[in-house]
Amino acid sequence: MAILVREGMKVLVQGITGRQGTIHTKLMLDYGTNVVAGVTPGKAGTEVHGVPVFDTIEDAVREVGPIDASIVFVPAPFALDAVVEAVDNGIPLVVVITEGIPVHDTAKFVAYAKSKGTTVIGPNCPGIIAPGRVKIGIMPADAFAPGPVGIVSRSGTLTYEISISLKEDGYGSSTTIGIGGDPITGLNFIEVLEMFKDDPETKAVVLVGEIGGDAEERAARYIKEIGYPKPVVAYVAGRTAPPGKRMGHAGAIITGGQGTVESKERAFREAGVPVAKTPFEIAPLLEEVMRERGIS
Amino acid sequence: MRLLEYESKEALASRGVPVPRGEVARTPDEAAEITRRLGGRAVLKIQIPHGQRGKAGGIKVVGSPEEARRVAAELLSRTFYGYRPESLLVEEPIEVKTEIYVGAIADRNARSMTFISTPYGGMEVEEIAAEHPESIEKRSVHPLMGMVPYMARVLAKNASMNAPDKLREIQKVVLALWDVARDYDAMMLEINPLAVTTDGRVLALDARIEVDDNALFRHKEFEKRYYAVGNPREAEARKRGIAYVELEGNVGTMANGAGLAMATMDLVHTFGGKPANFCDVGGGASADRVAEALELVVSNPNVKVVLINTLCGITSCVDVAEGVRKVHERGLLKVPVVVRMSGNRAEEGKRILSELGIKATERAVEAVKHAIELAR
């Protein structure tokens, strides 16, 4: 079992006829993801790579039955509407790829989804993949191999980099989740760590953080306080980022002396979590901690 | 983006927060005229998107229109924290009895706006938190409920400790602050200080609003200045939608993805080099976009070498290589370029680069080390 996703689950694509929506519908289908429907208002009756397109999610559900997960590609000004539509149609998991959504909109749809029992991944994220089984996201398939490592990350490409380097060293992933680079996201590190803790397939966790906020410090405190039962290796990007400047991701900014790499690394070390200096040091550190704990 | 004080005060006033009487002056004559209208005495405040203006001499009290003209001429000709003020806020002088702090911030952990109040205003909120930690009251606002009156009362009650007769007025200010936060897509906003004056008024003496950059599409009135602030290359990048931040080093960097771009700068640092910039060309970039980003990176005169780190998934290495070729053909590549290229169509991309005499490697660390050597 992976976390949050399973093979064969029925996936809907919101914004399926846009450039990104079209490309990634194809790539998800190629990966074996069961994409059953797409929504783009005004495009009902058309198809994208054989996937039927509907005007509304209600129409899609009427035709293909209940949906297990939705992936959102719609432009930022319409993302709030898209997520609320997914939630109102009882979709339990919504993956928001869209970048540049106003933080007040995100706060609203995250709160709304929570109140209705829907899990939101993202926004501004690469999505989720259970290698070899299902991909609801935009990550390149060949960067990921199945295996025992849970990966949770605030970034996209950097996660692929780390996954490739793990793969080269013989480590695959149970589930990899990009929680997103915005200040407010549907899932945070602690929530994902909780899920990995209870997932029998996950034997170790790689946590990829970056500057800004204190989510990494909180995750470190959580690991220490509950005596997290699985080994964790961390990496934090942004050591050379100047304060007060937003580093691409809306959430990657050091403000008032808070959110530095130093503070995050210190918190991890205090929690007994080894910290990699470069993305390529993660694999050797992982090998070390897994050997120490007798996990192969 | 950070609004100027007068823009912040206009926003607050439009939602019912009382502010001092005053007007914006763009010339010394205007400053003199406004001072005259205010009764001959005024406070002149430079309008720049930066705090601690008083410490830098950017806030002056004047006793006559003539003095206002002279001081305004001086303030408008100076540079403060790298900003040349384009205007001054000319306000009535206020006699303060008590200074209070109320503010709010987009709180990552609460996933909502968290409001903060304390009866100690006039200092940076970090200082207040350090000196009077017990004085701080915090409440997170449910995004779908908005600020509810009881919560505003709790915050106001705390803030009004030294002015208990002003509880209702301060509560109104807190409620209005939420309206401003919501209507202006604020990531952060504060009234500091919120003053109780000797004549019994409650006034926002200084105010700051940070509008969410992602929400500027619905706040067109601020967009123009957003694109003009900062170093010319950073401003140009913002116009083109490229994430670019300049540093002090000499190794120009460019990557696809913000995390990878940060990690690339960090690698340069780890192996003993100094990154010149952060540059994320974005996901699925076209050749033209790569060319635009690369042109920005090489236009920084400090750059001695450019390190391109691309791990291609949606992006095609061919587009990256074609982008480099475009800049090369325009004759703009005056410094060596080192490329790490991996993933989608990497072999074809490398072939294109080799035609330009640029050798690409699959290995990030190898590329980083090579770039650092070339920068020396």
Residue A296's pLDDT is 67
CA distance A54 to chain B (A): 26
Cα–Cα distance for residue pair A147/A283, rounded to 1 Å: 13
Judge: B268–A143 Cβ closer than 8 Å, yes or no.
no
Cite the residue boundaries of each domain of chain B with CATH code 3.40.50.261: 232-375
Nearest to B245 among A104, A214, A245 (CB): A245
State yes or no: is B101 an active-site residue. Answer: yes
Whole-number Cα distances in Å, B121 to B4, B74, B142, B168, B201: 20, 29, 26, 18, 16
Cα–Cα distance for residue pair B117/B129, rounded to 1 Å: 11
CA distance B175 to chain A (A): 17
Mean pLDDT of B226-252: 88
Residue B231's pLDDT is 83
CA angle at residue A120 from A154 to A203, to 5 degrees? 60
Judge: A102–B185 Cβ closer than 8 Å, yes or no.
yes
Residue B374's pLDDT is 95
Which among A20, A104, A139, A247 is the top mutation candidate for probing chain B, defined by the most B β-carbons within 10 Å of its own β-carbon?
A104
| Nearest residue to B79 via CA among B56, B95, B60, B101 | B56
What's the mean pLDDT when you consider all of chain B?
A: 95
Residue A13 predicted with pLDDT over 80: yes
Question: Using an 8 Å Cβ cutoff, are B133 and B109 in contact?
Answer: no
Question: Using an 8 Å Cβ cutoff, are B246 and B234 in contact?
Answer: yes
Class of CATH domain A10-121: alpha beta
CATH topology of domain B21-91: Dna Ligase; domain 1 (3.30.1490)
Residue B82's pLDDT is 87
Segment B321-374, tens digit of pLDDT: 999 999 999 999 999 999 999 988 999 999 999 999 998 999 999 999 999 999
The answer to whether domain A10-121 and domain A139-292 are alike in fold is yes
Judge: A157–B311 Cβ closer than 8 Å, yes or no.
yes
Cα torsion A190, A192, A195, A201 to 10°: value is -130
Residue B226's pLDDT is 78
* Cα B76–chain centre separation: 22
Residue B46 predicted with pLDDT over 90: yes
A76 DSSP 8-state letter: G
Residue B165 predicted with pLDDT over 70: yes
Count CA atoms closer than 13 A to B113's CA, side-chain side. 36
Chain B environment of A239 (Cβ under 8 Å): 265-266, 269-270
Cα–Cα distance for residue pair A242/A239, rounded to 1 Å: 9
With an 8 Å Cβ cutoff, is B108 touching chain A? yes
Chain A environment of B143 (Cβ under 8 Å): 104, 107-108, 110-111
Considering Cα of A126, then A128, then A130, then A135, what sign does the dihedral take?
negative
Residue A256's pLDDT is 79
Residue B283's pLDDT is 81
Residue of A nearest to B271 (CA): A278
Segment B278-299, tens digit of pLDDT: 999 988 789 999 999 999 999 9
Cα–Cα distance for residue pair A245/B131, rounded to 1 Å: 27
pLDDT band (50, 70, 90) for residue A253: very high
| Nearest residue to B374 via CA among B248, B246, B269, B251 | B251
CA distance A20 to chain B (A): 9
| Nearest residue to B4 via CA among B65, A78, B22 | B22
Mean pLDDT of B17-36: 98
Considering Cα of B187, then A111, then A82, then B315, what sign does the dihedral take?
positive
> If contacts are CB pairs under 8 Å, which of residues 62-101 in chain B contact chain A?
none
For B232-375, CATH number? 3.40.50.261
With an 8 Å Cβ cutoff, is B106 touching chain A? yes
> If contacts are CB pairs under 8 Å, which of residues 275-314 in chain B contact chain A?
275, 278, 280, 283-284, 311-314
Judge: B108–A184 Cβ closer than 8 Å, yes or no.
yes
> If contacts are CB pairs under 8 Å, which of residues 315-334 in chain B contact chain A?
none
Residue B315's pLDDT is 84
Residue listed under structure tokens 């340069």: B268
Strand runs (DSSP E) across A46-158, as ranges?
47-48, 51-54, 69-72, 93-96, 119-121, 127-130, 134-137, 146-153
Residue B253 predicted with pLDDT over 70: yes
Segment B73-95, tens digit of pLDDT: 999 999 999 899 999 999 999 99
Cα–Cα distance for residue pair A191/A187, rounded to 1 Å: 6
State the complex-level ipTM: 0.94
Element (H, E) at A221: helix A215-226
Instruction: Give the range among A84-88, A229-233, B43-47, B120-124 with minimum mean pLDDT.
Output: B120-124
3-state SS, one letter per residue, for chain B: CECCHHHHHHHHHHCCCCCCCEEEECCHHHHHHHHHHCCCCEEEEECCCCCCCCCCCCEEEECCHHHHHHHHHHHHHCCECCECCCCEEEECCCCEEEEEEEEEEEECCCCEEEEEEECCCCCCHHHHHHHCHHHCEEEEECCCCCCCHHHHHHHHHHHHHHCHHHHHHHHHHHHHHHHHHHHCCEEEEEEEEEEEECCCCEEECCEEEEECHHHHHHCHHHHHHHCCCCCHHHHHHHHHCCEEEECCCCEEEEECCHHHHHHHHHHHHHCCCCECEEEECCCCCCHHHHHHHHHHHHHCCCCCEEEEEEEECCCCHHHHHHHHHHHHHCCCCCCCEEEEEEECCHHHHHHHHHHCCCCEECCHHHHHHHHHHHHC
Report the percentage of chain A scoring pLDDT > 70: 100
Residue B118 predicted with pLDDT over 80: yes
Q: Is B45 exposed, middle or buried (0-12, 13-18, 19+ CB in 10 A)?
A: buried
Q: Count other C-beta atoms under 10 Å from residue A144's C-beta.
A: 25
Residue B200's pLDDT is 95
Q: Which residues touch A188 (CB under 8 Å, ≥6 apart)? A: A179, A215, A218, A219, B108, B109
Question: Using an 8 Å Cβ cutoff, are A100 and A76 in contact?
Answer: yes
Mean pLDDT of B238-253: 94
A132: helix, strand or coil: coil
Cross-strand pairs, A205: A150, A232
Residue B356, token pair as written in the block: 């330009």
Output phi, psi for B103, to 5 deg: -160, 175
Q: Which residues touch A100 (CB under 8 Å, ≥6 apart)? A: A76, A124, A250, B214
Cα–Cα distance for residue pair B343/B346, rounded to 1 Å: 6
Could you state, in order of their start, the residue ranges of all structural domains in chain A?
Answer: 10-121, 139-292
Give the count of Cβ contacts less than 8 A between chain A and B. 181
pLDDT band (50, 70, 90) for residue B123: confident
Cite the residue boundaries of each domain of chain B with CATH code 3.30.470.20: 96-222
Residue B219's pLDDT is 95
A66 DSSP 8-state letter: -
Cα–Cα distance for residue pair A89/A86, rounded to 1 Å: 5
Residue A191 predicted with pLDDT over 80: yes
Q: Which residues touch B287 (CB under 8 Å, ≥6 apart)? A: B319, B320, B322, B323, B325, B326
Considering Cα of A211, then A216, then A220, then A221, what sign does the dihedral take?
positive
Residue B152 predicted with pLDDT over 80: yes
Question: Using an 8 Å Cβ cutoff, are A173 and A145 in contact?
Answer: yes
Set B6, B101, B184, B244: catalytic member: B101
Tell me the residue type at A87.
Answer: V
CA distance B243 to chain A (A): 5
**What CATH homologous superfamily does B96-222 map to?**
ATP-grasp fold, B domain (3.30.470.20)
Chain B environment of A19 (Cβ under 8 Å): 284
CATH 3.40.50.10420 applies to domain A139-292? no
